[in-house]
Copies of this chain bind each other. A is one copy, B any other.
Amino acid sequence: MALADIRALSRNEDGIAVAAGVLKQRFGDAFQTGEAIRGQHAHTTTYIRPQLPDGVLFATSTDEVSEAVKICAEYAVPVIPFGTGTSLEGHVNAPAGGISIDTSRMNAILQVNPEDLDCIVEPGVTREQLNDHLRDMGLFFPVDPGANASLGGMAATRASGTNAVRYGTMKDNVITLEAVMADGTVIQTGARARKSSAGYDLTRLMVGSEGTLGLITKITLRLHGIPEKIGAGICGFESVEGAVEASIAAIQCGLPVARIELVDELNMRAINAYSNLNHGESPTLFLEFHGTEASVAEQLETFAAIAGEFGGRNFEAAVHTEDRNRLWQARHDAYWAALQLRPGAKGISTDSCVPISRLAECIAQTRADIESEGLLGPVIGHVGDGNFHVLLLIDTDDPQEIAKAEKIVERLNERTIAMGGTCTGEHGIGQGKRRFMTLELGESVGIMQLIKHALDPKNIMNPGKILPPGRE
């Protein structure tokens, strides 16, 4: 829907040709220019059109990334970081061509410090890889965006997911990071200490900068002890309002809920059909609680009582692993099930996040809007954060449907911003949401522009992302 927004950055043909030659000479087979590989590196999971880079460097170290960026800087050639390609907003596209730096071979877990509850990883390590590695130590890394994304990519997009309500987002779980900046300089943004007041928070500046200021080459992450006990719950509600109000009440009374996920009736119907289940087809909360055995039991009991006050019914709880997994399977299937509501359609995921007091209202207005356009858009929500995704199911070969979807998304983002919310809770801006930046952030966009110009004067770091057209 944002195709019209993508500024036709001009290609620096000569620079690209020379830089590609230098990179080939320096890196040999680790630098690839075949179309298949370039195509994979412009893969997007939405219908944003792929824009291929001119070459892909499979880097293996910070030094190699630095060297490559220096070469690109010398010839003013764009550098596009690539992790696993699971981003949703065209982050890996190369609108002005350039070199994709693939970090998947930088996948070493360099340190785990159990006493400090931290670890240092290379950017290509995926979250599942890290958690597999940590399991035997009784530790885990909590941020879970669904996809088995690379931790570098998750940091770059300020990702979060289902348990941000308890453990925070990447912003809260990156302690410090190493990055290669636009001239090839390598920086370490801060100390490994748990907190610091030493100067500007470059860690948080880089987290969420989507490769537009520098390329993340090492990340120090905060870890957590695997809870002694995990409890799961699932509860149907008469209305989305009831489910949201129960969530608000639970959080207000200090219930340390680890996950609290909303699935609307349409998505529940999809799940039942997809997995042959017989859940009630009403707005449903999926919950998870972490703690000691006694505390998890108490949390489940407290939530059951709260749910009852807001029209919750058939609250089902589970503490044994298999039972928990069975309960949550429905939530995990939500995306694939939703796609099957309209076989052949593509899903476009929105990413509104509003103050939780406005969440039910925002969802209701959005669902009414989708219905009046005659489209399907099942909803799931990270309700504890006020973040929800509509999966608009559209035939991307039908320009009229695309136009309708664009209108729905535009109105949704305007509604969200008017309610004090953001057009992106966790997916990032990429190419797809650039045109909402000014509406949401006003004069702050000018400050972002000054920072971008100062740190990347040649605009080679992932150009055409984040900053709105004409403000890059």
The chain A residues found within 8 Å of chain B, CB to CB, are: 113-118, 138, 157-160, 164, 168-169, 171-172, 181, 185-202, 204-205, 207-209, 213, 224-225, 227-228, 248, 251-254, 256, 290-292, 294-295, 298, 302, 351, 353-357, 384-387, 417, 420-429, 433, 436-437, 440-448, 450-451, 453-455, 466-467
C-alpha gap A168/B168 in the complex (Å): 11
The reply to whether A188 and B356 form a contact with Cβ atoms under 8 Å apart is no
The reply to whether B422 and A160 form a contact with Cβ atoms under 8 Å apart is no
Contacts of A455 in B (CB 8 A): 447, 450-451
The reply to whether B454 and A171 form a contact with Cβ atoms under 8 Å apart is no
Contacts of A186 in B (CB 8 A): 443
Instruction: Name the one of B160, B228, B440 contacting A191, with C-beta atoms under 8 angstroms.
Output: B440
Contacts of A209 in B (CB 8 A): 200
Contacts of A354 in B (CB 8 A): 193
The reply to whether A429 and B208 form a contact with Cβ atoms under 8 Å apart is no
Contacts of A447 in B (CB 8 A): 181, 187, 202, 455
C-alpha gap A254/B296 in the complex (Å): 13
Instruction: Name the one of B353, B426, B451 contacting A451, with C-beta atoms under 8 angstroms.
Output: B451
With A115-B357, A116-B356 given, name 12 new contacts (CB 8 A): A171-B204, A185-B443, A187-B447, A191-B420, A194-B387, A197-B351, A198-B441, A200-B451, A201-B208, A254-B290, A291-B295, A447-B455
The reply to whether B188 and A444 form a contact with Cβ atoms under 8 Å apart is yes
Given A186-B443, A420-B192, A356-B201 contact (CB < 8 Å): no
The reply to whether B117 and A197 form a contact with Cβ atoms under 8 Å apart is no
The reply to whether B444 and A194 form a contact with Cβ atoms under 8 Å apart is no
The reply to whether A200 and B193 form a contact with Cβ atoms under 8 Å apart is no
Instruction: Name the one of B248, B292, B384 contacting A298, with C-beta atoms under 8 angstroms.
Output: B292
The reply to whether A200 and B254 form a contact with Cβ atoms under 8 Å apart is no
Instruction: Name the one of B168, B227, B256, B353 contacting A196, with C-beta atoms under 8 angstroms.
Output: B353
Contacts of A204 in B (CB 8 A): 171, 201, 204-205
The reply to whether B201 and A207 form a contact with Cβ atoms under 8 Å apart is yes
Given A181-B447, A207-B201, A424-B196, A190-B357 contact (CB < 8 Å): no
Contacts of A437 in B (CB 8 A): 198-199
Instruction: Name the one of B191, B295, B384, B453 contacting A421, with C-beta atoms under 8 angstroms.
Output: B191
Contacts of A384 in B (CB 8 A): 194
C-alpha gap A298/B453 in the complex (Å): 54
The reply to whether B426 and A195 form a contact with Cβ atoms under 8 Å apart is yes
Instruction: Name the one of B164, B196, B355, B448 contacting A192, with C-beta atoms under 8 angstroms.
Output: B355
C-alpha gap A460/B372 in the complex (Å): 54
Given A252-B114, A444-B187, A425-B197 contact (CB < 8 Å): yes
Max count, chain B CB within 10 A of own CB: residue among A189, A420, A426: A420
The reply to whether A208 and B197 form a contact with Cβ atoms under 8 Å apart is yes
Given A185-B446, A189-B444, A227-B254, A195-B169 contact (CB < 8 Å): yes
